[in-house]
Structure 1
Amino acid sequence: MRVLRWGLLLTLLAMFDTAMAAVCVTDDIQREVCLEKPASRIIALSPGATELLFAAGAGGQMVGAVSFSDYPPAAKKLPRVGSYKRLDLEAVLSLKPDLIVAWHSGNPLPQVERLQALGLPVYYSEPRRFEDVSTSLERFARLAGTQSVGLGAAEAFRSGIDALRERYADAAKVSVFYQVWKEPLMTVNGKHLISEAIQLCGGENVFADLPTLTPRISQESVLEKNPQAIVAGGMGEDDPGWLAPWRQFASLRAVKNDNLFFVAPSTLQRPTPQMLIGARALCRHLESARARH
Structure 2
Amino acid sequence: MLSSSALAEAPICVVDDRGRDVCMVKPAQRIAALSPGATELIYAAGAGDKVVAVVSFSDYPEEAKEVTSVGSHTRIDLERLMSLQPDLVLAWGTGNPSEQIALIERLGLTVYYVEPHEFESIARNVENMGILAGTQGQANTEALRFRQGIQALQARYEAAPAIDVFYQIWQEPLMTMNGEHYMSKVVSLCGGVNVFADSPRLIPRLNQEAVLLKNPEAILAGGMGERNAKWLSAWRAFPGLLATQRDNLFFVPPSLIQRPTTRLLEGAEILCQALETARGRR
CA distance in 1, matches of 2:60, 2:147: 21
CA distance in 1, matches of 2:224, 2:21: 37
CA distance in 2, matches of 1:217, 1:108: 26
Other-structure match for 1:53: 42
Amino acid at match of 1:278: G
CA distance in 2, matches of 1:66, 1:43: 9
User: Post-superposition shift, 1:214?
Assistant: 1.1
From 244, 247, 256, the equivalent of 1:255 is 244
Other-structure match for 2:199: 210
**Secondary structure in 1 matching 2:96:** coil
Amino acid at match of 2:80: A
CA deviations 1:111-160 (Å, max 9, x no partner) are: 00000011100001100011111000100000000001000000000000
Amino acid at match of 1:261: F
From 202, 208, 214, the equivalent of 1:219 is 208
**Secondary structure in 1 matching 2:76:** coil
**Secondary structure in 1 matching 2:175:** coil
When the two structures are aligned, how many residues end up with a matched partner? 281
Q: Map of 1:105-254 to 2, 5 A cutoff?
A: 105-254=94-243
CA distance in 2, matches of 1:160, 1:13: 41
Amino acid at match of 2:277: S
Stretches of 4+ aligned residues off by more than 3 angstroms: 12-15
Other-structure match for 1:41: 30
Q: Normalising to structure 1: TM-score of the pair?
A: 0.94
User: Post-superposition shift, 1:212?
Assistant: 1.3
CA distance in 2, matches of 1:213, 1:78: 32
CA distance in 1, matches of 2:145, 2:4: 37
CA distance in 2, matches of 1:37, 1:118: 19
Other-structure match for 1:19: 9
From 75, 84, 87, the equivalent of 1:86 is 75
CA distance in 1, matches of 2:26, 2:197: 42
Other-structure match for 2:20: 31
Other-structure match for 1:9: none
CA distance in 1, matches of 2:7, 2:233: 62
RMSD, matched Cα:
1.0
CA deviations 1:177-217 (Å, max 9, x no partner) are: 00000000000110111100000000000000111111111
Other-structure match for 1:7: none
Where does the alignment leave 5 or more consecutive residues of structure 2 unmatched? none
**Secondary structure in 2 matching 1:123:** strand
Q: Normalising to structure 2: TM-score of the pair?
A: 0.98
Question: Could you tell me the percent identity over the aligned residues?
Answer: 54
Where does the alignment leave 5 or more consecutive residues of structure 1 unmatched? 1-11
CA distance in 2, matches of 1:184, 1:79: 32
CA distance in 2, matches of 1:199, 1:52: 23
CA distance in 2, matches of 1:113, 1:203: 40
User: Post-superposition shift, 1:15?
Assistant: 5.1
